Amino acid sequence: MFDIGFWELILISVMGLVILGPERLPGAIRSVLAVVRKVKQSVSSVTTELKQELELDELHQNLKKAEQQGLESLNGDLSESFETLKARAESVTRPYQKSSSEQNQHEADTVTMPSDPPPEPSQEDKK
């Protein structure tokens, strides 16, 4: 990762021993290793997330392409089905329109006569 050789590592450890002393050197090494470990984990998680996002983006692009190809091939079938449905809907509404117009004609031809004549107004109503 850092391309550090054996002699460079020995030189860094001797300098750390001289600068920090034998008591503080193990704690410093642990804290440096913890920081390096956290940085590695962060880089690894970012790399994993980027890979997942790229795969997800690629899947979305493939899905859109397949959808477009599917829509283009379905376009003819869809219009044919739409025309069939439209024709069936018109055939369903036509009998109702005919029967309602026939019923209106029948009602116009027949006049209903009231069975009882309306009552004559009484003398009290005239006042």
Question: How does DSSP assign 3-67, residue by residue?
Answer: ---HHHHHHHHHHHHHHHHHHHHHHHHHHHHHHHHHHHHHHHHHHHHHHHHHHHHHHHHHHHHHH
Encode pLDDT of 27-82 as tens digits: 999 999 999 999 999 999 999 999 888 888 887 888 788 777 776 666 666 667 77
CA pair distance 126, 120, nearest whole angstrom: 11
The pair of three-digit structure tokens given for residue 13, joined into one six-digit string: 């450890």
**Please, which pLDDT band fits residue 127 given cuts at 50, 70 and 90?**
low
With H, G, I as helix, E, B as strand and everything else as coil, classify residue 103. Answer: helix
Chain centroid offset of residue 81 CA: 26
pLDDT at 33: 94
